[in-house]
Amino acid sequence: MNINDYSSKVKNLANVISSIGAPIDDENLVAVTLNELKKNYNKFYVSIVVQKTFLNFQDLITLFTNEEMRIVRISSNGGSQENVFYSNINRSKGGKTSFWG
Using one digit for the tens of pLDDT, what is the confidence trace for 56-89?
999 999 988 998 998 888 888 765 555 545 555 5
Q: Is residue 23 part of a domain?
A: yes
Mean pLDDT of 49-56: 84
Written in H, E and C, the secondary structure of 48-83 is HHCCCCCCCHHHHHHHHHHHHHHHHHHHHCCCCHHH
Residue 73: which of 64, 81, 61 has the closest Cα?
A: 81
Count of the separate structural domains present in the chain? 1
* 3-state SS, residue 92: strand
Better pLDDT: 94 or 39 = 39
pLDDT above 90 coverage of the chain, percent: 31
Asked if the structure places residue 66 within a domain, the reply is yes
Is 101 inside any structural domain? Answer: no
In a domain, 51, yes or no: yes
C-alpha span between 13 and 36 (Å, rounded): 14
pLDDT band of residue 97 (cuts 50, 70, 90) is: very low
The Cα 64–Cα 45 span in angstroms is: 9
Radius of gyration of the chain (CA): 17
Q: What domain range includes position 23?
A: 3-96
d(CA 75, CA 69): 10
What integer pLDDT is reported at residue 85 of this predicted model? 53
| 86 falls within a domain | yes
